[in-house]
Amino acid sequence: MSIDLDRYFARVGYDGPRDNSVATLRRLHELHPQAIAFENLDPLLKRPVKLDPASLQAKLVGGGRGGYCFEHNSLFAAVLRQLGFGVEEATARVRWSVPEGMTTPRVHCLLFVEAEGEDYLADVGFGGNVLTAPLKLASREEQATPHEPFRLVEDEDGHLVQEAKLGGEWKPLYAFDFAHTHPVDYEMGNWFTSAHPESIFVNGLMGARAEAGKRYALRDNQLAVHTLGRGTEKTTLKSAGELRDALTDLFKLRLDALEGLDPALAALAARPGA
């Protein structure tokens, strides 16, 4: 099954050319994270996460929901291929908020996209620090995006590390290489992320969405609204109703047909504040 491009473009608000140009890649990469939120409600509620095109379209496009990296980037890859882009899947080890020296599993995913003879890193699924523009893979210089500057640097082991400039400092987000990735690698990473009993996606709530000049991030009952150039405002959400309102109003999610959501939100609201 192919993704219904008409419905996807309506979902993200795209009305431009249907070609494989750099301009099209950049515009879709900017719009996708603004329209389709990062969220983990299915793992939190012990619901399966499926990566086939029909499931991705039903949930992220038609269902008004979001997802995490495997869902976002699988959907984005399918859309880009239908437009004629060359796309390869890849995996990465997260370094954001990870103690120095700690090795994490390959449970983040990203895309390598060829457009007009140049290779780009595309990633519409990295939560609160998601890219809002593709990065040139060959460049090691600072690269502007509609939000923060990003760059790719080599580490001592020869991996490429994606870094974001946050508060004037470069912070590592994840490390990757060019090892060939098979569909089964995504299936394994997706299972670990969505079902392993110690996965952070199973044991707490996460949400993120970018918009022009802002980023919204939710971790359990802690809401952060980051305005570019003006700092971050943090709020503790104290009831299931406040959490539901944030998910619908700020993260633009449809929450119907999610059995058990309100009890789960009430338990999260009762957690101690940061």
Q: State the catalytic residues.
A: 69, 108, 123
* Residue 200 CB-half CA count within 13 A: 11
Question: How far apart (Å, rounded) are the C-alpha atoms in residues 142 and 111?
Answer: 19
CA angle, corner 18, sides to 120 and 147, nearest 5? 45
Question: How far apart (Å, rounded) are the C-alpha atoms in residues 140 and 195?
Answer: 36
Show the 3-state SS of 20-64.
CCHHHHHHHHHHHHHHCCEECHHHHCCCCCCCCHHHHHHHHHCCC
